[in-house]
Structure 1
Amino acid sequence: MNIDRYHHQHADIRSGVSQLRNLVQGGIAANAEAIAQALIGMSTTIKFHLASEDAMLYPALNESSDRAVAELGRRYQNEMRGLIGSYTEFSGKWRVASQIAAAPEQFRSEANVVFKALHGRIQREDQELYPAVEAL
């Protein structure tokens, strides 16, 4: 299975997080509009990535004759549900610039939690899941 698109999507997500980080460092209230727009754009990439994994990658892993790989896929799929729920709640709450500007420290705090979880997930996929898929 060719998973190059997943690697490219991870790069796009990392780039989006870096862009958000730079905007936040420049001042949350001052950059609230740009932050909201970046968050909306990044949300599209993240949701597409997770939906693609859910629709194509995990079903392929579940059909694997390698029981360890099939179980790994099920574990990642189950974990993904919690992550997408958290991310969807976060992005829905903070998609409007005025909300970001009104509560900049709350935005920063919640963003740190969500993006730390997202970063950890991407790292685990790159180090564990994708190598297992590529070895099939």
Structure 2
Amino acid sequence: MNWRIGQMQAQHEACLAIVEDIEARSRHIADRPSAVEITLMLARLTGILRIHLALEDEILYPALRNAADPRIAEMAERFWQEAGGLADAFLDFVDRWKRADALLTDPEGFRIESARVFKALADRIDHEHAEIYPMAERLRAARAG
């Protein structure tokens, strides 16, 4: 089974690059064009994350949660549950800030909330790269071998 780990890792890198751009641009939200640019980046980030979460929800996590090794199944279940909370928090964040007017009205509020949400996203990515993806690769290799 192809679990598309490489594709998911590439999506993570794309997300982190967009986050970096948003953080840089949000330091100076001075006018409507700069605010609109940030909203477009948020939309792009949301699109990548929706595809990424679909891959995880449909392919990766079901396979890990059904692993014969209970440690793998339990860890996958925990990570999957946590991911749902982060996805909800991210979508709430995007819903609040998807309009340029919101960014222009409260740029500092956006910076504060985006720092919190983006840190949680980066932490999640770090966990997946350090724990979930290596575990998935080991399980895939064991099934193939």
How would you bin the TM-score normalised by the shorter chain?
Answer: over 0.9
Matched-pair contact (CA < 8 Å) for 1:90–1:110: yes
| Match of residue 47, structure 2, among 38, 44, 49 | 44
Matched-pair contact (CA < 8 Å) for 2:11–2:52: yes
Runs of 5+ in structure 2 lacking a partner?
140-145
| Match of residue 132, structure 2, among 111, 129, 132 | 129
TM-score by length of 1: 0.94
Q: Kindly tell me the number of residue pairs found equivalent between the two proteins.
A: 135
Once the two structures are superposed, residues 84-111 of structure 1 have per-residue CA deviations (whole angstroms, 9 ceiling, x without a partner) of 1100000011111111111100111110
Q: Distance in 2 between matches of 1:111 and 1:7?
A: 22
Amino acid at match of 1:65: A
- 1:3 deviates by 1.1
Task: Quote the sequence identity (%).
Answer: 35
TM-score by length of 2: 0.88
Q: What is the match of residue 16 of structure 1?
A: 18
Runs of 5+ in structure 1 lacking a partner?
none
Q: Which has the larger radius of gyration?
A: 2
Give runs of aligned pairs for residues 41-80 of structure 1, distance below 5 A.
Answer: 41-80=44-83
Partner of 1:80, secondary structure, is: helix
Q: Distance in 1 between matches of 2:30 and 2:38?
A: 9
Q: Distance in 2 between matches of 1:29 and 1:55?
A: 41
TM superposition outliers: structure 1 runs of 4+ over 4 Å: none
Q: What is the match of residue 97 of structure 1?
A: 100
